[in-house]
Amino acid sequence: MKTITQRELAARSKAVLDDVEAGEIYHVTRNGTEIAEVRPLGTRRRFVPVEELQRKWSNAPAVDAAAMRAEADAFYGDEDRVDDGDPWENA
């Protein structure tokens, strides 16, 4: 956390906001009294480790492709279907 004056914030707003975007938090003072806090809106991760994804997906329900196809055919009809093959199957 850094502390800057209101005047510094006005003079260096681009640099301060670049720091905030990178995760820095600023306390802004006026006449020696803290009046505001400038912080990122949220922490957005750019990378999620594979282990975390595997842990979160481990409890996901299994997908029954045949049941999903039957449900889609019942809803949309199967007369216009182009291919009955498995698109994920390696040819």
pLDDT in tens, 27-44: 999 999 999 999 998 766
Indicate the CATH number of 2-38 among 2.40.10, 3.40.1620, 3.40.1000, 2.40.50: 3.40.1620
> Which residues, given as ranges, of the chain have pLDDT below 70?
43-44, 82-85, 87, 90-91
* pLDDT of amino acid 20: 92
Tell me the domain boundaries of the chain. Answer: 2-38
Strands 26-30 and 33-38, bridge-based pairing: antiparallel
CA-angle at 40, arms to 38 and 41, nearest 5°: 110
Strands 26-30 and 2-5, bridge-based pairing: parallel
Q: How far apart are CA 42 and CA 20, in angstroms?
A: 11
| Three-class DSSP category at 56 | helix
Contacts of residue 12, Cβ cutoff 8 Å, sequence gap at least 6: 4
